[in-house]
Amino acid sequence: MSVAIIGAGTMGAGLARRIAATGENVLLTGRDPTRIAMIAVDMPGDVKPGPISHVVQSDMVILAVPYSAAADALAEAGPLTGKVLVDISNPVGPERSLAIGMTTSAGEEIQKLVPQARVVKAFNTIFSELLGLKLSEPDKPPQVMFAGDHEFANHKVEELIRAIGFEPLDVGPLKNARFMEPVGVMMIELGYGLGRGTRIAPRFVEY
Ligand SMILES: NC(=O)c1ccc[n+]([C@@H]2O[C@H](COP(=O)([O-])OP(=O)(O)OC[C@H]3O[C@@H](n4cnc5c(N)ncnc54)[C@H](OP(=O)(O)O)[C@@H]3O)[C@@H](O)[C@H]2O)c1
């Protein structure tokens, strides 16, 4: 499955590197073509730079921009009919609050913006620093939660999470992004507010 990424910040670039390391080709896109080309040229593997409008050529699109920029970025991407669209955002408001939540989520609002795409919420509960780490315990990697309403799309995201060395955790339909996003903000509070750093991740265990 070909992958495109919108946004080449810490998450977008980190995911591009990690996916390219599996041998997949990646289309890395953003609003500043010069900056995107400079980031892509330094990456090992097959990472090609391009404009956001080209993501339609890929089967899966990872939206790696701030939630506040999602509508603008998606307007440039087009309707993304049939595409798997991975929303990784945490809608963070002032003082590490949730900008939206309880009765909706960033994931659901993004699905409303592109109703023809198949949105999967994922990666919002792990820090970008983990994408760059060589994992010390490969048999017990960080868990990456995902939620979505489309079985095929969920399966493809689950495969991607596993392929890049993490443990997928299916947390149900897209409306459960309402619970994943507070977990993402809790991690930010733990990491930055309480000084635990960004080499941390939540883990679901059964006893
Ligand atoms: N950082 C983390 O550890 C982490 C963890 C989990 C989830 N997330 C989520 O991942 C997403 C990206 O976070 P990040 O930390 O990678 O942010 P970042 O380093 O600030 O990068 C943001 C990227 O979004 C692009 N962007 C901003 N506005 C845009 C627009 N209107 N159109 C197109 N591109 C635009 C920026 O491009 P320019 O260079 O052109 O400004 C930049 O490439 C956010 O939704 C965040 O909540 C982050």
Whose CA is closest to atom 48 on ligand 1?
11
Whose CA is closest to atom 19 on ligand 1?
9
Q: What is the pTM of this model?
A: 0.98
Whether residue 139 has pLDDT greater than 90: no
Question: How are beta strands 60-63 and 84-87 bridged, if at all?
Answer: parallel
Q: Per residue in 57-110, pLDDT tens?
A: 999 999 999 999 999 999 999 999 999 999 999 999 999 999 999 999 999 999
Phi-psi domain of 7 (left: phi exceeds 0; alpha: psi -120 through 50; beta: other): left
The DSSP result for 82-100, as a single string, is T-EEEE----B-GGG-BSS
Give CA separation, 78 vs 53, 64, 83, 114, in Å.
Answer: 7, 16, 11, 8
Ligand 1: centre distance to CA 207 (Å)? 37
pLDDT at 138: 74
Q: Per residue in 152-190, pLDDT tens?
A: 999 999 999 999 999 999 999 999 999 999 999 999 999
Mean pLDDT over the full length of the chain: 97
Give CA–CA dist 134/167, Å, rounded: 15
CATH class of 3-193: alpha beta
32 pocket-lining for ligand 1 (C-beta < 6 Å): yes
Ligand 1: centre distance to CA 65 (Å)? 3
